[in-house]
Amino acid sequence: MSNPHLSCLLLSLFCTPLFADDWPQFLGPDRNSTSAESGLLRAWPEAGPEVMWKVAVGKGYGGPVVKDGKVYLLDRDDEVGETLRCFNLGDGKELWSYAYEAEGSVMFPGSRGVPTIDGDYVFTCGHNGDLHCIDITTHKPVWKANVWTDFGGKPPSDGGGRRFGGSEPGGFPIWAITQNPLVYGDFLIVASQAPEAGVVAYDKRTGDVKWKTPSLGYVGYVSPNIVKVDGKDHLVMVTPSTNPFQRSSPDENKRGKFIGFDPLTGEQLWEYDNWNCHISVAPAIDAGENRVLVVGGYELGATMVKIEKKDGKYFATEIFTTEEFGDQTKPPLLHNGHFYAQYGTNNRRDGLVCMNMDGEIMWKTKRDPGFNKGSMILADGLILATDGEKSLYLIEPDPTEFMPLASAELLGEGGDSSGIAGRIGGRTQNWAPIALSDGKLLIRDHSQMICVKVAK
């Protein structure tokens, strides 16, 4: 005899869309470039994976996020401002948008930050430091602030953003504000890096400042991240060393820092003060067993520290520093005790590099093939990687050798080709973070965002 209640339940399960893991923030669900999705294709057709849709976007380096079948991207027009755009993941149809004025341009123009989705709200931090909490139902702001000018920073019109030479304290950063908001409990945490605040925690529902740290040093482009120390959450922030093009005096040579905070109070717990990278971008990552790894570009590599507690206080001890492994734009992937990163800098082309936990380099692709500031995701035991130029790769992570399974040229040119930016970045600067949800990979260049089917 049939059970009508069971039949209704089964019908509802089959009729309700079942979404795989969302990609709700920068670097994915756990902010470590790793997805729990399965069923990825192990091979692609000769023409490449299926492109499901494309949409036009402005220039930029900011990537998308995905929640409940909807894609969110902070798009930008330097002459007008920024637009939070929401698309349907299935067909790319634009569902709604919210725009605000935020004109201004810097070298490598365009969008920067990746939105963060939490419940019914999307949080964005724009090129000029404009921080918004947008209700995804009403499509209107709940609150807004500015992470830079609210804490003593000068707006773009008052300097910064266009030159390599020294600037006054509080001058707008050369490459604008690059922040990817972090939701932690009831807090929204960003690194202001302004004269009157280093890291700031806002009430995520009201925008009230709950705690802030003093200035932490030089201005960089790093977003805060969470690591585990003795099973407890530590908020880690990375600050850069002296920028040789911006130092106040010829003999100035200060090192950067990794700093651990209590994410609930902002109390500083520990500090490592010998980080040598003058333009830090990649957040710290949890390497397990109380270890923290930070990577950088500009030929300055990577440093791993171990956090230990002695006599009630935490201390950071360097395990190793190497110039043979790094990544300028993002933290490396960690898989089965090995790290994978794209080590391309202004003068170095080591390509995709594999390193073990002791800092030993296992292999480098160099320029065959080359990988330079692209994005990577680990899912289903595979790596999906853009190479920073035009191609998407499917790679099997293996510490003994580089194991490519497939590749396809999907992206176009269009970065900043003027002056020194063109000489440094080349004609193709596809450096934006990618996102994976429901078997669909979202990648972008400087004119379009593309949805690619990468799962069965």
Confirm if 176 and 190 have CB atoms less than 8 A apart.
no
| Percent of all residues in the chain with a pLDDT value above 70, rounded to a whole number | 93
Q: Is the pLDDT of residue 403 over 60?
A: yes
pLDDT at position 178 is: 97
Residues in contact with 308: Cβ distance below 8 Å, sequence separation at least 6, in sequence order? 290, 314, 315, 317
Q: Is the pLDDT of residue 419 over 90?
A: no
Dihedral of CA 208/211/213/219: which sign?
A: negative
How large is the C-alpha radius of gyration of the chain?
21
pTM of the model: 0.94
Q: Is-cis flag, bond preceding 24, omega within 30?
A: no
For residue 5, name the pLDDT band (cuts at 50, 70, 90): very low
What is the per-residue pLDDT across 325-351, written as a single tens digit (0 to 9) for each? Answer: 999 999 999 999 999 999 998 888 999
Quote the CA–CA distance of 78 and 101 in Å, as a whole number.
Answer: 10
Quote the CA–CA distance of 64 and 75 in Å, as a whole number.
Answer: 10
Q: Is the pLDDT of residue 207 over 70?
A: yes
Bridge partner residues of 122 (DSSP): 117, 134
Quote the CA–CA distance of 135 and 71 in Å, as a whole number.
Answer: 15
Task: Return the higher-pLDDT residue of 42 and 162.
Answer: 42
pLDDT at position 445 is: 97
Dihedral of CA 321/423/376/349: which sign?
A: negative
Confirm if 286 and 309 have CB atoms less than 8 A apart.
no
What is the per-residue pLDDT across 437-447, written as a single tens digit (0 to 9) for each? Answer: 999 999 999 99
pLDDT at position 420 is: 79
Q: What is the mean pLDDT of residues 6-32?
A: 65
